[in-house]
């Protein structure tokens, strides 16, 4: 099974919303700048077509707060 | 903390017999704890249906099994930190029956093959449990060494990953949950964190068996639990009852209502407000319709003359002050929820929100916004309590929006 969910380590995330820009199909910024899943999920699903974008967001998160995990 | 008699027909268990906390009294009543292997213990706990008494009510056997299945030598931690201000049962248990807790800790530690165990307690319990451990050492009762770690007096310090951090010598704040502590906790070892009351029940199940355990409580929710009954009752204190006990009987066991009651907070600050119906069954099943559960056994009675919204806003303010300062949505969202509730409680419209009725929508919006968005369940628990208040005190909400207060008028 591929790693198809996005996990956010809230203790690390500093909320500058970079991921919401890089992965706008899945995430939006909340009113404080923290990533919020569009579908409201705690660990939003990452469809196959968005895997590459998601990996890029994970790699570029300055706080190392994002991970792709198995559901 | 006073202990009042348990209800007729239920029978005290944890608080049975003498509660002087002495080892000789304990051994005379219970003898030395039995030794069990992992498979035996998991089987007993599953047959008994023991669930965690620290709040979440998770089946204990599953956690023990997870630790047994993980790689590495496990560590076991008894959690007696009891950071919840309305709770006193863990401190009472450790004062009255420390040896049941310590027996339970040894039984699980032995069964999972731990070489080190910890007892994580509030400062108030430390002296007593250290003395109890000294007595046990003299009697050769503790093959697995037990270290006492004192918990800071913070609400989130008792959360499982915060417990692991504290025991490992770090700050007692929660960690991210990508890896479970049952896989990698203290020093990377599989770690079993159990509430001290859970351990005490376990010590009795190991002696008397699952059938005995199931003689109290309901078929789905067996056993007894310790309840801390407070608020407007005659004799606030810790009582023991089987799950499914009538709310009225629980209140009567604590001296009965001190005034006419309107609502009860069940499960504590992360629990739920329910109407003060004497016939309500205190069990998961009985409280589910109200979005509440027995949690860690806290029952706070609210009299008719005290406004439930004011009380809820006060608790929300306390909870907002207890955020561990780590997770953005929790750090920002809980204080916003608390101020919104305070405005509603004091019948103030908020600048920028326009009409006051928006306060109700704002509470719901913020509740959804913080839920699930933290390293621990503090935001979720806080939201559970707040949303239950909005339902149970809906008449008060309507009155406040119209500039009146039901409780004030009842005084
Ligand atoms: C914010 C927060 C605070 C908690 N505080 C306590 C506590 O003081 N004592 C406790 O036993 N469990 C507490 N818990 C629950 C623990 O995380 C954990 O579920 C429990 O200790 C496990 O033991 P049990 O399965 O025997 O209940 C807390 C949970 C949260 C989210
Ligand atoms: S990029 Fe990383 S630090 Fe920035 S908001 Fe997203 S998860 Fe948080
Ligand atoms: S969710 Fe809140 S209380 Fe829990 S660790 Fe994060 S900031 Fe602390």
Q: Taken in order B208, B209, B215, B217, is the CA torsion positive or negative?
A: positive
Instruction: Give the CATH number, domain containing residue A59.
Output: 3.30.70.20
Q: Would you state the pLDDT for residue B8?
A: 35
Q: Could you tell me if B329 lies within 8 Å of chain A, comparing CB atoms? A: yes
Q: Token digits for B142?
A: 């503790």
User: Residue B46's pLDDT is what?
Assistant: 98
- Domain spans, chain B: 23-213, 308-410
Which pLDDT value is given to residue A71? 72
Alpha carbon of B331 to ligand 2 centroid (Å):
16
Q: How far is CA B43 from CA A31, B48, B64, B73, in A?
A: 49, 8, 10, 21
- So what's the pLDDT on residue B12? 84
**Helix B60-69 crosses helix B98-112 at what angle (to 10 degrees)?**
40
Ligand 1 interacting residues, C-beta cut-off 6 A? B 52-56, 58, 79, 81-84, 155-156, 158-160, 193-195, 198, 376-378, 381
Is a pLDDT exceeding 80 seen at residue B349? no
pLDDT tens across B272-294, in order? Answer: 999 999 999 999 999 999 999 99
Predicted confidence (pLDDT) per residue in B241-267, tens digit:
999 999 999 999 999 999 999 999 999
What is the fold of B23-213? Rossmann fold (3.40.50)
According to CATH, the topology of domain B308-410 is: de novo design (two linked rop proteins) (1.20.1440)
For chain B, give the percent of residues with pLDDT over 90: 90
For chain B, the average pLDDT equals: 94
- Whole-model pTM? 0.95
Judge whether residue B365 has pLDDT over 70. yes
State how far the Cα of B84 lies from the Cα of B88, in Å rounded to an integer: 8
pLDDT digits (tens, 9 = 90+) for A21-58: 999 999 999 999 999 999 999 999 999 999 999 999 99
Question: For residues B90 and B158, what is the distance between their CA atoms, to the nearest angstrom?
Answer: 12
Number of domains in chain A: 1
Render pLDDT for B32-51 as a digit per residue (tens, 0 to 9): 999 999 999 999 999 999 99
Residue B1: count other Cβ atoms within 10 Å of its Cβ: 12
Q: Encode pLDDT of B165-194 as tens digits.
A: 999 999 999 999 999 999 999 999 999 999
DSSP assignment letter at B257: B
* pLDDT per residue as tens digits for the range B316-344: 999 999 998 999 999 999 999 999 999 99
Report the candidate in B380, B353, B385, B358 with the shortest Cα–Cα distance to residue B369.
B380
Reported ipTM: 0.95
pLDDT confidence tier of residue B10, bands split at 50, 70 and 90: very low
Q: Decide if B373 and A13 are in contact by the 8 Å CB cutoff.
A: no
Separation between Cα atoms, residue A12 and residue B218, nearest integer Å: 43
Q: Whose CA is nearest to atom 6 of ligand 1?
A: B158
Per the listing, tokens 């000789």 go with B24
Question: Which chain A residues touch B175 with a CB distance below 8 Å?
Answer: 11
| Helical axes B98-112 vs B196-213, angle rounded to 10° | 80
- pLDDT at position B1 is 36
- The Cα–Cα gap between B305 and B297 comes to 24
Which whole number is the average pLDDT over A5-15?
96
Helix pair angle (B98-112, B23-30), 10° resolution: 60
Domains B23-213 and B308-410 share a fold: no
Residue B8's DSSP bridge partners are none
Q: How far apart are the CA of B324 and the nearest CA of chain A, in angstroms? A: 9
Q: Distance between CA B156 and CA B16 in Å, rounded?
A: 31
pLDDT score for A17: 84
Q: Does B19 touch chain A (CB under 8 A)?
A: no
In this predicted structure, the answer to whether residue B3 has a pLDDT above a threshold of 70 is no
Instruction: Report the distance separating Cα B378 and Cα B286, nearest Å.
Output: 24
Residue of chain B whose Cα is closest to the Cα of A65: B176
CA dist., res. B93 & res. B245, Å (int): 20
Q: Best substitution site from B160, B167, B173, B319 to test ligand 1's pocket, by max atoms within 8 Å of Cβ? A: B160
Positive or negative, the CA dihedral B224, B226, B231, B233 is: positive
What tokens does B271 get?
């629990």
Domain with A20 in it: 4-70
């Amino acid at each position: 099974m591929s790693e198809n969910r996005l996990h956010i380590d809230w203790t690390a995330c500093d909320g500058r919303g970079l991921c919401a820009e890089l992965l706008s199909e899945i995430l939006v910024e909340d009113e404080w700048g923290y990533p919020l899943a569009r579908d409201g999920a705690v660990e939003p699903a990452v469809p196959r077509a968005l895997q590459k974008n998601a990996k890029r967001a994970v790699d570029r998160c300055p706080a190392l707060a994002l991970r792709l995990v198995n559901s | 903390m006073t202990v009042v008699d348990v209800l007729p027909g239920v029978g005290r268990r944890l608080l049975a017999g003498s509660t002087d906390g002495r080892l000789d009294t304990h051994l005379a009543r219970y003898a030395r704890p039995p030794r069990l292997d992992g498979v035996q213990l998991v089987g007993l706990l599953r047959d008994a249906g023991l669930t965690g008494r620290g709040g979440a009510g998770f089946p204990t056997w599953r956690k023990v099994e997870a630790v047994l299945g993980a790689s590495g030598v496990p560590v076991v931690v008894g959690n007696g930190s009891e950071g919840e201000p309305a709770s006193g049962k863990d401190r009472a248990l450790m004062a009255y029956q420390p040896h049941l807790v310590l027996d339970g800790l040894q039984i699980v530690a032995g069964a999972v093959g731990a070489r080190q165990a910890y007892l994580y307690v509030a400062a108030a319990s430390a002296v007593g449990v250290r003395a109890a451990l000294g007595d046990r050492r003299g009697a050769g009762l503790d093959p697995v060494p037990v270290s006492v770690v004192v918990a800071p007096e913070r609400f989130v310090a008792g959360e499982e990953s915060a417990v692991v951090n504290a025991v490992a010598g770090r700050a007692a704040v929660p960690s991210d949950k990508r890896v479970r502590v049952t896989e990698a906790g203290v020093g990377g070892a599989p770690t079993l964190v159990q509430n001290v009351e859970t351990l005490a029940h376990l010590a009795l199940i190991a002696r008397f068996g699952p059938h005995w355990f199931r003689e109290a409580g309901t078929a789905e929710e067996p056993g007894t639990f310790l309840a801390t009954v407070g608020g407007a009752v005659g004799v606030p204190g810790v009582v023991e009852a089987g799950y499914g006990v009538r709310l009225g009987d629980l209140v009567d066991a604590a001296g009965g209502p001190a005034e006419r009651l309107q609502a009860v907070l069940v499960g504590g600050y992360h629990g739920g407000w329910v109407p003060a119906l004497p016939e309500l069954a205190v069990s998961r099943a009985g409280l589910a319709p109200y979005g509440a559960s027995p949690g860690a056994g806290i029952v706070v009675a609210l009299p008719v003359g005290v406004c439930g919204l004011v009380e809820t806003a006060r608790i929300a303010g306390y909870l907002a002050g207890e955020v561990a300062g780590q997770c953005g949505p929790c750090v920002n969202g809980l204080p916003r929820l608390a101020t919104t509730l305070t405005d509603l409680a004091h019948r103030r419209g908020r600048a920028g929100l326009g009409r006051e009725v928006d306060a109700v929508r704002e509470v719901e919006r913020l509740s959804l916004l913080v839920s699930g968005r933290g390293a621990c369940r503090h935001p979720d628990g806080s939201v559970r309590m707040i949303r239950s208040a909005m339902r149970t005190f809906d008449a008060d909400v309507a009155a406040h929006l119209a500039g009146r207060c039901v409780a004030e008028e009842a005084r």
